[in-house]
Each structure stands twice: as structure tokens, then as C-alpha cells.
């Protein structure tokens, strides 16, 4: 998305957030986040439920006031950027105004912006032309999301913020949605979208920022993040083996004991298995599994092996 941009476009970041913190009572939803998104970049905010993605996005949009830290959107306060029509958003929650047709609704929203896109063009871009005459109360979940996308776009914003936009869309519809998003991004827009699917982040973002427990735990290209998330786990029955020793095997990130079993969390499970079999012929019931994305995220926080399942704050 960075090709063909001139120096003026890159001089001011699309989003600049520094030292962002937000707590709800004792719960630290977002802890000291720093993130800069270049103008024209498409960034995925990836993390499990409860990671703090929505809170971060709502602070970037000026909907939630941070406890500490500052946000600038194209160099301005979020609310000023929103008022100027520079920002289009699809929030995680929200519904459509009833009693209007899709075209009427998109037209009304367009009239609120200084330089809207032609309504027909937006309906076409978002695949909602066929729904134009339909009352907004008669839409499926996926159709509603596409109309909400049209509403986010019609003001022709420079920054598009999408919070888990495909949550209500079936698998087939998702691809269409992301293709439409990609077409918009190619017009030089800055896009920030939240997702808890690694595949979506991988396929449609230039850069992936991973959040877990209110912190940014990784920030890199999709390829880099995919490699980091590719943690595999080896389990085996091994009474009496020293887990500390196993933890030092090549390819092993951490080791823990669960009764008679040992569980090795591996950066390189092939290397670990090779050494494990060579050094400990007495192992039984060996099992190698791909870690779920949730485990991979926790691993990225640096305390994956010691964390209790379901015990996250």
C-alpha cells in the first residue's frame, strides 16, 4: 500500500498513539500502548477476545478517553479529525437506523460529510447495490455489515477503522468483504482493522500488531507474525524426567510438568522432537500438536507456559 506515495503523504502519520492506558476499575484494559500507523498503511490489530483491541480503537476514534497517553489522527486530536470527515468507522457494536432503505440511509450519511463519494459508487464498492431498495430492518447479519461498511466509506475518509467487521459474516461473504476493503486500501487509504483471526490479518494487512492482555506483544509483517505464532506443543509421558533440562533442548521455548506428562512449547518442534527421541528413549505417548492461536498469543507475551487456562485477568 506504500507504493507511489510522496513525501508529503508520509510526513504526518495516519495514527500516532503513545503511552495509551485505560483501566476499568481494577481491570487494566490497555496498558501503555505505543503505535504509529503511516498514512496509506493497512494494519491489523490482532488478538484474542478481551485483549484490548476495541478499547484501543475507541480511544483512537476519540470515543473513550484514555487515562494517560495521547492520540493523533493525521496530526490532530481524534475528535477534530472525525469532525473534519477524515475518519470512517465500523464499530463492533451498533445498529442501523430503521425505517429507511439502504440507499436512503447511505445518502443521509453522505449528506453529513463535506466531500462524500457518490452513493452509487459506494453501493457498488461494498456489494450493496442489490440491497439499495431494501429496508435496513430486513437485512441478514452479513448484509448489515456490508451496509455498515458503506456508511463508513461514504464520507471518503482518509482513515478507515474497522472493529471485527466480519464477525457476523459467513465464510464466503468474508472473502468478498475483505476484497472490497482491499480495493479501498489500494486507493491510498489508511486502514486499521481489528480481528481475532490470524488468517484475516495475514491475508489483508501490510502489518500486524498483536495485542494480548492490554499490551502490544508483537508488531511486524504478516510473515514475521505467522512465524512467531507457529508454536507447536509436544506432550509425552515421562515420569521422573527433569523439566528444566527438557526446557533447554534445541527448539524448546518452555517446558512444564503435568503429573506424569511433560508439555514442551516449541519454536521448532522438529528439532525438539529429534533431540528428545535421541536423548530420552524411554518416552511414551508422544504427541505433537499445533498450538491454538490463543496459546500462540500467550506465548508471545512471554508467560505462555505458566499461564492458567481461562485465568486471564
Query: Which residues are at the interface with ligand ADP (CB under 6 A)?
Result: 24, 27, 29, 47, 49-55
Q: Which is nearer to ligand ADP, 55 or 145 (CB)?
A: 55
- Under 8 Å between Cβ of 250 and 271: yes
DSSP letter for 135, please: B
Q: Which is nearer to ligand ADP, 210 or 234 (CB)?
A: 210
- Provide, rounded to whole angstroms, the least separation between the CB of residue 313 and ligand ADP: 7
Q: Which is nearer to ligand ADP, 42 or 56 (CB)?
A: 56
Segment near Mg ion (CB under 5 A); pick from 13-21, 47-55, 105-113, 206-214: 47-55
Indicate left, alpha or beta for 55 from its phi (over 0: left) and psi (-120 to 50: alpha). alpha
- Provide, rounded to whole angstroms, the least separation between the CB of residue 87 and Mg ion: 18
Residue keyed to cell 512471554 = 302
When CB distances are held under 5 to 8 angstroms depending on the partner's kind, the choice from ligand ADP, Mg ion, none that residue 222 binds is none
The size of the interface with Mg ion (CB under 5 A), counted in residues, is: 3
Cell numbers of 123, please?
A: 453501493
Q: Which is nearer to ligand ADP, 54 or 231 (CB)?
A: 54
Q: In the chain, which ranges are E strands?
A: 15-24, 27-37, 42-46, 68-73, 87-90, 159-163, 190-195, 207-212, 215-220, 232-237, 252-258, 261-266, 284-290
* Parallel/antiparallel/unpaired status of strands 207-212 and 42-46: parallel
Q: Which is nearer to ligand ADP, 29 or 180 (CB)?
A: 29
How far apart are alpha carbons 241 and 252 in whole angstroms? Answer: 15
Residue 186 to residues 192, 220, 282, Cα–Cα distance (Å): 14, 20, 57
DSSP letter for 116, please: P
- Provide, rounded to whole angstroms, the least separation between the CB of residue 61 and Mg ion: 13
Segment near Mg ion (CB under 5 A); pick from 46-54, 127-135, 239-247, 273-281: 46-54
Q: Which is nearer to Mg ion, 145 or 265 (CB)?
A: 145
Q: Is the dihedral of CA 219, 222, 223, 227 positive or negative?
A: positive
Which x/- pattern over 53-82 shows residues binding Mg ion (rule: CB under 5 A)? xx----------------------------
* N residues, the chain: 313
- 282 three-class SS: coil
* Parallel/antiparallel/unpaired status of strands 87-90 and 232-237: unpaired
- Under 8 Å between Cβ of 22 and 166: no
- Provide, rounded to whole angstroms, the least separation between the CB of residue 264 and Mg ion: 32
Segment near Mg ion (CB under 5 A); pick from 8-16, 89-97, 178-186, 218-226: 89-97
- Provide, rounded to whole angstroms, the least separation between the CB of residue 25 and ligand ADP: 7
Which x/- pattern over 90-129 shows residues binding Mg ion (rule: CB under 5 A)? --x-------------------------------------
Q: Which is nearer to Mg ion, 49 or 68 (CB)?
A: 49
- Provide, rounded to whole angstroms, the least separation between the CB of residue 92 and ligand ADP: 7
- Provide, rounded to whole angstroms, the least separation between the CB of residue 161 and ligand ADP: 13
Give the containing element (helix H, strand E) for 243.
helix 243-247
In DSSP terms, 137 is beta-bridged to none
How far apart are alpha carbons 182 and 176 in whole angstroms? Answer: 10
> Which parts of this chain interact with Mg ion (CB under 5 A)?
53-54, 92
Amino acid at each position: 500500500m506504500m507504493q507511489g506515495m510522496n513525501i508529503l503523504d508520509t510526513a504526518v502519520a495516519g495514527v500516532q498513539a503513545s503511552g495509551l492506558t485505560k483501566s476499568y476499575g481494577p481491570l487494566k484494559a490497555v496498558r501503555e500502548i505505543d503505535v504509529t500507523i503511516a498514512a496509506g498503511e493497512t494494519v491489523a490489530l490482532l488478538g484474542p477476545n478481551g485483549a484490548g483491541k476495541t478499547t484501543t480503537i475507541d480511544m483512537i476514534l476519540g470515543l473513550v478517553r484514555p487515562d494517560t497517553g495521547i492520540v493523533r489522527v493525521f496530526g490532530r486530536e481524534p475528535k477534530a479529525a472525525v469532525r473534519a470527515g477524515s475518519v470512517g468507522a465500523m464499530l463492533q457494536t451498533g445498529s442501523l437506523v430503521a425505517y429507511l432503505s439502504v440507499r436512503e440511509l447511505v445518502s443521509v450519511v453522505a449528506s453529513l460529510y463535506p466531500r462524500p463519494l457518490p452513493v452509487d459508487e459506494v453501493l457498488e464498492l461494498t456489494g450493496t447495490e442489490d440491497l439499495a431498495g431494501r429496508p435496513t430492518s430486513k437485512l441478514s447479519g452479513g448484509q448489515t455489515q456490508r451496509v455498515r461498511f458503506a456508511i463508513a466509506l461514504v464520507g471518503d475518509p482518509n482513515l478507515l477503522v474497522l472493529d471485527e467487521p466480519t464477525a457476523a459474516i459467513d465464510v464466503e461473504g468474508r472473502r468478498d468483504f475483505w476484497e472490497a476493503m482491499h480495493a479501498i486500501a489500494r486507493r491510498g487509504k489508511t486502514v486499521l482493522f481489528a480481528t481475532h483471526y490470524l488468517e484475516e490479518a495475514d491475508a489483508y494487512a501490510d502489518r500486524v500488531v498483536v495485542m494480548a492482555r492490554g499490551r502490544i506483544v508483537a508488531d511486524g509483517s504478516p510473515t514475521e507474525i505467522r512465524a512467531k505464532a507457529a508454536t507447536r506443543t509436544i506432550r509425552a509421558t515421562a515420569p521422573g524426567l527433569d523439566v528444566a533440562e527438557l526446557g533447554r533442548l534445541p527448539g524448546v521455548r518452555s517446558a512444564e510438568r503435568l503429573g506424569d506428562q511433560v508439555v514442551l512449547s516449541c519454536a521448532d518442534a522438529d528439532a525438539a522432537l529429534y533431540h528428545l527421541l535421541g536423548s530420552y528413549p524411554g518416552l511414551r505417548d508422544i504427541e505433537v500438536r499445533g498450538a491454538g492461536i490463543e496459546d500462540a498469543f500467550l506465548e508471545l507475551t512471554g508467560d505462555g507456559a505458566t499461564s492458567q487456562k481461562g485465568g486471564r485477568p
